[in-house]
Amino acid sequence: MEKTVLTEIFDMLRGMNVVANEGEFSRDWLGRSECYLRSVRFKGTEPSVATIAICASKLQHYGNQLVKQTDHRELGRRFLSLSEQCHAQINQQSKAMWL
């Protein structure tokens, strides 16, 4: 898969042992079927704006919770930064549709 914000998020979560594989990430963090990212890669398409939005929302939610905890503040900031990157990708893909 081309290095995108979603692959960066997946790599981070897998490195933290939050998800074990791409299927689990697709289901638990993207709200899609376990084969979603595999299908996107096979078809050579980009993830949908809705999918990226779901991930951005979840990252923002957990990021806001984590920044309140001294021990996890930096991780929370990382989640919030990745959420912002998701929003930037959403804006880029959306703009390409209406331009």
| Residue 87 identity | H
> Residue 51: in which H helix or E strand, if any?
helix 49-67
Region 81-88: what's the mean pLDDT?
Answer: 96
Region 73-91: what's the mean pLDDT?
Answer: 96
| Cα of 15 vs its chain's centroid, Å | 14
Q: Is the pLDDT of residue 77 over 60?
A: yes
- Which of the two residues, 2 and 57, has the higher pLDDT score? 57
Look at the pTM and tell me if it is higher than 0.85.
Answer: yes
Query: Where exactly are the structural domains of the chain?
Result: 5-98
Total number of residues shown for the chain? 99
- Per-residue pLDDT of 14-56, as tens digits, reads 999 999 999 999 999 999 999 999 999 899 999 999 999 999 9
Spatial separation of the C-alpha atoms in residues 31 and 45, rounded to whole Å: 18
Look up residue 47 and give its DSSP letter. Answer: P
Q: pLDDT grade, residue 1 (50/70/90)?
A: very low
